[in-house]
Every structure is written in structure tokens, then in C-alpha cells.
């Protein structure tokens, strides 16, 4: 019997890959006995503070601008329930269920470190939700990324008190209905628990995990598609020389140049024009390492920043001991909002240069390549209008690249007078990546058409395998017809990581 690997919340270091694996159930997240001791020690400290006369923010005081209002010991539990209800003001359509899952995983990791005063039973219930595929419904809009992601996290944890709705077995069901079905009662939150649950950056960070995952595939796919187009348009291999890039040794540039060299290896097409009269190619071909490489550097920066965030305590106040509680700002989203905006721009540029290569393929200026990628045009418009679509997507991305983190609107009667808007950064970055996957799918469609005109010359070994895969699912066309379904097929090849899969199967040493 196969047993899933185990991850110990609060003890082991969480990575983006591990977070994804735990969220899908491929790795099982648990609380060890040692971690449970830390959790119980922290919650006992909070209970003592709640019963004392010492004012500690969020334990026996109100929230935000009400931080000087004392709350009686008898009302501390009601206070925590009220904060979930009052802060659950998100609107708009729900985020993807997979992102809600990630939010639960990331929150468990933060709370299990023993600085938040959370009850053991509360964490066990969160794990129950993951293991029983009872995933809270969380609206997209409403977080400013100040005291973390207050509104979305409130929606995430309404089910703990029997409220809200859940994704379950492909449907959305009321929480109370599902709890009743499993013989479970809503929890009664202890002192500080509501605040610990909704303070934090898990909405932003969960989006960032998805950005890192999808951007990684996007970068690998972009190199493969660009190399296909380079061959299709008889571009020069010289700009990818290792010696050239060692003179300006950015890690991303070196990686991309190495990828292109691997992709072109064994190419009859490249060999056929080694001594041609063309001096240099347009930037969209010649500068692939510089542009794709810069985007890779941005992706790497986000991944490094994010893995600090995934293992941080981001609620407030932080409980060190009965005598030391600190009301600070670890929930502020700025540290990941800015890298998310950087990644958003970096992803957009992959689409921007891809659109330029699509345009270049239609000009009819490359050897053997007919104008608009069809032999008989006039009666046929060929691939002309596909570039209109890529241009529209590239333009939409430019509008989405305005950095959300450059904005701040004071909230909470001025108590939260600078906010990160990091939730918007994360949402925009995923939207841009979605658009770029479509642009790359269109370039793949066009590059495959261009490559056909070089037959019987063969492409590089990897590209030849990718081209064969494309042709299994998409035809070469020489007259106008409905192409939107073909475009969607090509886009899915990019989106699902099929290009990189084929490349690795063809050459296991290829590591994009």
C-alpha cells in the first residue's frame, strides 16, 4: 500500500513545491507531538493574559482603531467570533479552489510555529477540512494587504464557526450542512484565535505560490516556442554562444542561452544557412536570452522571497511569553507585493516579445516562409488575424502591469494608514500569466506552420519531437478556416506543460 510522504507543520521548511503537494494531498501535513506542546503552551499564555487586567491588543482589547477599548474576560470568546463575522466582507467571484487549499496549508504552517496562541483543536479542524476536501469558498476582492488579508481570511475561516460555504465533491454547499453530515459541531474560538486566523498574508502568498508554479512552466515553454520560431524563420544561432553570455553573466540569460543551444542541437535547418548573407536578426530573435533571461531572474527573485514568507509568522500580536507580546507589522504585505508586481511585469514581457515574433513570422521576409504563413493569400487571409489576438492580449497585459504596490489608501480610521495592495498584485500576476499562455499558444501554432515549409530539412532533435507532437493534434493548413479551436488546443499544450514534458522525454538532460 502506498503511503503519502509526511510534512510536519511548524517544524520543517515549506517550499512552493511542498505547499502544492500538501494542498493536493500528495504529501500529508501533520502536527507532531512536539509541535502540539508548543501550540498548547502558546494558547495557555493567551488564556492567562485574557483573564488578567493587562491590556494586550486583540486579546482583551478591540481591533484597529478600537485598540484602547478593553474587553472583559467573559466576552473574549465572543470578540473572536465577531471579528470573523464583521471582517468577512469580500465580494466578487470565488478564487480557485486550489488557491483556497493553499491558503489553508500556508496558514497551518504559520500558526503551528507556536507564536500565535491558537488552540490545538482549531488547527486539527483546519487539517480536517483539507483531508475531507471541504474547502472554504473565498471571494476574490476585498483585501488591501495591510493587516494581512483580513477579508479573504475571514471567509476562509467562517466554516470553523459553522458559517460560510464550502467546495465539496464538485459542488458548493453550506458549511452547517456538511458539518452536520459528518457529526461535527462548530468550534468555539478561544481568546485571540479570530485575530490569529485573519491576520496574515496567506491570500497573497497562496497566489504567489501559483504564480511561481505557472511562471516556471511559462518560462520553459517560452524558450521552446521561441527556438521553434527561430528555426522556422532561419534565425542565427550565434547570439546564443556561451562565450558571449559569459561576458554579461546574469543567471537567467545564461540559462536561456543554454536552453536555446540544446533546442537547436542537431538542426539541419540551422546548418543550412550558417554562411548566409544575413548579418543579424531582429531583436525578438536575437535578444531572446536577454529578455527571457531577465524574466527568469524576476521569477527566481519571487521564489526566494516567497519561501521566506511561507515559513514566517505573520499574525499579530506575536506571543513570546506571558510578559512579552509584541504588536508589530509582520502581516504587512509589502515584502511580497513588490516582487509580485515585478513578476507580473516580467511575465508580461514574455508575451510582449512573443507577439513580436508572431508578427515577424507573417511578414514573408524569411527564407522559404510565405507571407501570412500560407502559400495562396488574397483569397485567403492566412494567419494574419491571429496576431490581432496576440496584440490584444499583450496590450491588456501592459495595462495590468501598473504596480498595485505603488498605491496605498488609508483604512481603519487611519490606524492602518499605509497598505500594500498585495492581494491585487497576486491576482493581476496570475491574470497576466493566463494571457501570456495564450500568446505563446498562438506563437506555437504559427511556429509549427513556419517549420513545415523547411521540409525535408529536420529541426533540432528536441524541437523535431515537439513539432511531431503538435502535428499529432494540429494540422498544417493552406486555406482559411475556423482556427479558434486550433488556437485553444495549442494554448492548452502550453498551459498543461506538454512542451516541456516532450522536451524532457526526448532529452533527459534538458533542464529548463
pLDDT (tens digit per residue) in 293-344: 999 999 999 999 999 999 999 998 999 998 899 989 999 999 999 999 999 9
In which band, very low, low, confident or very high, does the pLDDT at 147 lie, cut at 50, 70 and 90?
confident
Q: For the chain, what is the mean pLDDT?
A: 94
d(CA 92, CA 511): 40
d(CA 55, CA 62): 10
Using the predicted structure, report yes or no on whether residue 94 has a pLDDT greater than 60. yes
Task: State mean pLDDT over 374-400.
Answer: 97
Per-residue pLDDT reduced to its tens digit, 397-450: 999 999 999 998 888 877 787 899 999 999 999 999 999 999 999 999 999 999
SS3 61: strand
57 included as an active-site residue: yes
SS3 282: coil
Using the predicted structure, report yes or no on whether residue 59 has a pLDDT greater than 80. no
Which pLDDT value is given to residue 416?
A: 81
Contacts of 188 (CB under 8 A, 6+ apart): 77, 81, 161
Task: State mean pLDDT over 331-358.
Answer: 97
Which pLDDT value is given to residue 279?
A: 67
Which pLDDT value is given to residue 277?
A: 65
Q: Pick the more confident residue, 511 or 107.
A: 107
Using the predicted structure, report yes or no on whether residue 369 has a pLDDT greater than 90. yes
CATH 1.20.200.10 region(s) of the chain? 207-315+329-506
What is the dotted CATH code of the domain comprising 6-200?
Answer: 1.10.275.10
Which pLDDT value is given to residue 409?
A: 87
Per-residue pLDDT reduced to its tens digit, 242-263: 999 999 999 999 999 999 999 9
CATH 1.10.275.10 region(s) of the chain? 6-200
Catalytic hit among 9, 57, 469, 500: 57
Task: State mean pLDDT over 11-17.
Answer: 97
Domain 207-315+329-506 CATH class label = mainly alpha
Using the predicted structure, report yes or no on whether residue 379 has a pLDDT greater than 80. yes
What's the predicted TM-score (pTM) here? 0.95
Using the predicted structure, report yes or no on whether residue 231 has a pLDDT greater than 90. yes
Do residues 236 and 271 touch, judged by C-beta distance below 8 A?
Answer: no
DSSP string spanning 160-218? GGT-SEEEETTEEEEHHHHHHHTT-PPP---TTHHHHHHSBSHHHHHHHHHHHHHHHHH
Residues 421, 427, 431, 437: is their CA dihedral positive or negative? positive
Which pLDDT value is given to residue 80?
A: 87
Amino acid at each position: 500500500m502506498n503511503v503519502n510522504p509526511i510534512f510536519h507543520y511548524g517544524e520543517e521548511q515549506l517550499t512552493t513545491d511542498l505547499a502544492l503537494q500538501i494542498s493536493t494531498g500528495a504529501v500529508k501535513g501533520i502536527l507532531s507531538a512536539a509541535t502540539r506542546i508548543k501550540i498548547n503552551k502558546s494558547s495557555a499564555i493567551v488564556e492567562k493574559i485574557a483573564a488578567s487586567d493587562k491590556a494586550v491588543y486583540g486579546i482583551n482589547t478591540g481591533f484597529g482603531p478600537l485598540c484602547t477599548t478593553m474587553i472583559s474576560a467573559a466576552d473574549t470568546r465572543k470578540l473572536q467570533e465577531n471579528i470573523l463575522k464583521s471582517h468577512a466582507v469580500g465580494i466578487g467571484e470565488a478564487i480557485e479552489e486550489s488557491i483556497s487549499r493553499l491558503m489553508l496549508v500556508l496558514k497551518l504552517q504559520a500558526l503551528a510555529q507556536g507564536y500565535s496562541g491558537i488552540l490545538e483543536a482549531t488547527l486539527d479542524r483546519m487539517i480536517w477540512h483539507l483531508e475531507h476536501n471541504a474547502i472554504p469558498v473565498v471571494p476574490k476582492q476585498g483585501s488591501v494587504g495591510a493587516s494581512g488579508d483580513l477579508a479573504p481570511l475571514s471567509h476562509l475561516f467562517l466554516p470553523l464557526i459553522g458559517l460560510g460555504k464550502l467546495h465539496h465533491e464538485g459542488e458548493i454547499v453550506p458549511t452547517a450542512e456538511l458539518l452536520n453530515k459528518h457529526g461535527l459541531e462548530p468550534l468555539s474560538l478561544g481568546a485571540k484565535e479570530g485575530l490569529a486566523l485573519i491576520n496574515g498574508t496567506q491570500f497573497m502568498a497562496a497566489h504567489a505560490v501559483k504564480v511561481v508554479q505557472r511562471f516556471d512552466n511559462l518560462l520553459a515553454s517560452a524558450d521552446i516556442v521561441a527556438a521553434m520560431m527561430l528555426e522556422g524563420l532561419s534565425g542565427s544561432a550565434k547570439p546564443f554562444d556561451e562565450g558571449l553570455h559569459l561576458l554579461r553573466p546574469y543567471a537567467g540569460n545564461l540559462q536561456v542561452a543554454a536552453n536555446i543551444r540544446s533546442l537547436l542541437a542537431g538542426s539541419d535547418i540551422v546548418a543550412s544557412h550558417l554562411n548566409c548573407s544575413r548579418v543579424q536578426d531582429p531583436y525578438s530573435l536575437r535578444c531572446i536570452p536577454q529578455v527571457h533571461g531577465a524574466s527568469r531572474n524576476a521569477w527566481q527573485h519571487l521564489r526566494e522571497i516567497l519561501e521566506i514568507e511561507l515559513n514566517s509568522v505573520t499574525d499579530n500580536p506575536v506571543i513570546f511569553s506571558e510578559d512579552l507580546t509584541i504588536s508589530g507589522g509582520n502581516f504587512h504585505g509589502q515584502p511580497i507585493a513588490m516582487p509580485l508586481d515585478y513578476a507580473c511585469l516580467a511575465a508580461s514581457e514574455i508575451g510582449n516579445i512573443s507577439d513580436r515574433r508572431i508578427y515577424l513570422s507573417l511578414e514573408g521576409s524569411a527564407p522559404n516562409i510565405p507571407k501570412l504563413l500560407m502559400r495562396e493569400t488574397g483569397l485567403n487571409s492566412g494567419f494574419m488575424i491571429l496576431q490581432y489576438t496576440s496584440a490584444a492580449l499583450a496590450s491588456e497585459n501592459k495595462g495590468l502591469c501598473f504596480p498595485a504596490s505603488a498605491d496605498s489608501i488609508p483604512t481603519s480610521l487611519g490606524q492602518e494608514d499605509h497598505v500594500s495592495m498585495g492581494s491585487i498584485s497576486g491576482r493581476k500576476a496570475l491574470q497576466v500569466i493566463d494571457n501570456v499562455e495564450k500568446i505563446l499558444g498562438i506563437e506555437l501554432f504559427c511556429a509549427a506552420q513556419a517549420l513545415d515549409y523547411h521540409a525535408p530539412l529536420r529541426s533540432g532533435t528536441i524541437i523535431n519531437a515537439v513539432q511531431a507532437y503538435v502535428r499529432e493534434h494540429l494540422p498544417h493548413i493552406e486555406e482559411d478556416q475556423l482556427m479558434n479551436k486550433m488556437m485553444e488546443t495549442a494554448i492548452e499544450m502550453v498551459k498543461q506543460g506538454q512542451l516541456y514534458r516532450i522536451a524532457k522525454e526526448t532529452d533527459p538532460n534538458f533542464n529548463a
